[in-house]
Chains A and B, each alone.
Chain A
Amino acid sequence: MERAILDLAYLVAALCFITGLKRMSGPKTARAGNTLSAFGMLIAIIATLCEHSIVEYWQIGVGALIGGAIGAIMVKRVQMTSMPQLVAVLHGFGSAAAGLVAAAELVAELAHGGTIDPVHNGIIQFTAILSSLTVAGSFVAYGKLEEKITGRAVDWPMRHPLNALLLLGLLAIGAYLVHDPTQMGWFVVLNVGAALLGVLLVLSIGGADMPVVVSVLNSYAGIAGALAGFVIDSTVLIITGALVGASGMILSRIMCKAMNRSLANVLFGSFGGDAAKGPAGATITGTIRSTTAEDAAQLLAYSGSVVIVPGYGLAVAQAQHQVSELAQLLEKRGVDVKYAIHPVAGRMPGHMNVLLAEANVPYDKLVEMERINGELDRTDVVLVIGANDVVNPAARSNPQSPIYGMPILDVDKSKNIIVMKRGMNPGFAGIENELFYNPRTRMLFGDAKASLTKLVEETKAIE
């Protein structure tokens, strides 16, 4: 009887999660949706606490208090630009929790002294591998995003065979543990080995591909949760894990499509290793025309339509507020201002939208790539801020280029282009950009924030 009530409570929680996610389909309902999901979680927790087999309330209380406090502080402090790092870390914690639940189950069953059902045990071993891999991978992704670890795609000889060998070794250890679960030493080796594999896999993925990595880790964390659900026979865990696994998969697919690459290519291709290698590198000749903030402000202020293309450079410079101020000044002068958002702008799916929302840019000003591309040839000025690969015409014209075929913003079709850039370094993918040599392009060199501040001043000065 009690068990039935508990299961019904979990059902309510699962329904809250599903409805909450459904409300994410629009910005107006999304916040209420998130609150509903949180409410579902509360129901699940209270129901579990009421289950009388739980005796040690103090451990639960202490754990919730410590974890909750750390989580709240982390979130309070985080900058919107660091959102990908935070999410990567949270993925790590989520899958670590799933792995620990599975490990605790194994320990408890052993202490019970019986034999463990091989299927059950097999799932425990598999959960251990997947969760350890995800935890370690998440922290490497965090390091790369935080630029504590090189953003380059690290490559080494025999990488794929060695990784495959490690994976096979892990599966062998897992199989051995199914045969003899009492070998706890090997269980530790299994987890450490899986973590090592996670490190190696993510280490060889370049910084520009982090949106995909974060999405894939999202998916893995979900699947690890679902596996933990199989282990402890918890329907609500299975449902939630499946939902999240599906979500992460979809996001990974969208990101890959936006880069015209397969998931396998992103995960194993070691893309963006050495800068500008191969035939696509540094062969463009032409003149770079630079401009001053004063001239750029004149051009912008007397134009009819401006499209702003924000890239990750804008986020790094924390210049989203200055952009928003400039846009408002221009709009006051009657200029039609829009923002063109490439799907992989920023370091995680939808990251740029969050950054601009933080700077009070209304979301109807943000236009997706497919829609804005039709208008760009009629646009007076395109202002590219800290974006590079997503506006590189080589993606359309140069079959030799590593980014050939990637959907881009066709900014080279507009009447005037102003590119704000720190210097002439190639982008994350390490590819030269012929847009900078276009006769209609003017380069405005300098830190995005400083340049934008100057642009705002110059625009104000025009009467």
Chain B
Amino acid sequence: MTVDVIVIFVLAAYVGFEIITKVPPQLHTPLMSGTNAITGIAVVGAMLSAGAGRSQLASWLGLIAMILASMNVVGGFLVTDRMLKMFGGKKERV
């Protein structure tokens, strides 16, 4: 643990605040499901735990993490896309 990671965390949070405040309220639901999908980046950590010839238990925990994170990623991105499709493509009335 070095100070570097804290610097990164704070800077990223700052960028987050700057970007998210510009998202209009009508898109808040897809915003939430979209940010939810990217928290699935824990999948990367899960892959490192599931693989890498570590202890059996660690590797099994990694497998479960892998399943959950995949659900998070796939589900999150798909549902966000489904919602945004409804917002985007309807310029003319039927």
Q: Which residues of A contact B (CB under 8 A)?
A: 10, 13-14, 17-18, 20-22, 24-28, 30-31, 33-35, 37-38, 40-41, 44-45, 48-49, 51, 53-57, 59-60, 62-68, 70-72, 74-76, 78, 80, 83, 86-87, 90-91, 93-98, 100-101, 103-105, 107-108, 110-111, 117, 119-120, 123, 214-215, 218, 221-222, 225-226, 228-248, 250-251, 254, 328, 341, 343, 348-351, 353-354, 357-358, 360, 362-363, 366, 368
Q: Is the CB of A243 within 8 A of B82?
A: no
| B42, B66, B94: residue with the most chain A Cβ atoms closer than 10 Å | B42
Binding site for A on B (CB under 8 A): 1, 5, 8-10, 12-17, 19-55, 57-59, 61-88, 90-91, 93-94
Partner of B45, one of A17, A38, A237: A237
- Tell me if B16 and A245 are in contact (CB < 8 A): yes
Residue of B nearest to A230 (CB): B5
A113 → chain B, closest Cβ, in Å? 10
**A interface secondary structure, majority:** helix
Task: Give B85 Cβ to nearest chain A Cβ, in Å.
Answer: 6
- Contact of A104 with B71 in the complex, beta carbons under 8 Å: no
Q: Are B90 and A68 in contact (CB under 8 A)?
A: no
Contact between B15 and A18, CB atoms less than 8 A apart: yes
A78 touches B30 (CB 8 A): no
Cβ contacts under 8 Å, B71 to chain A: 67-68, 70-71, 74, 90, 93
Partner pick for A354 among B13, B17, B83, CB 8 A cutoff: B83
Question: Which listed residue, B1, B80, B87, touches A119 by the CB 8 Å rule?
Answer: B1
CB atoms of B72 and A90 under 8 A apart: yes
CB distance from B74 to the nearest CB of A (A): 4
Q: B76 touching A68 by the CB < 8 A rule?
A: no
> Which residues from chain B contact A237 at a C-beta distance below 8 Å?
41-42, 44-45
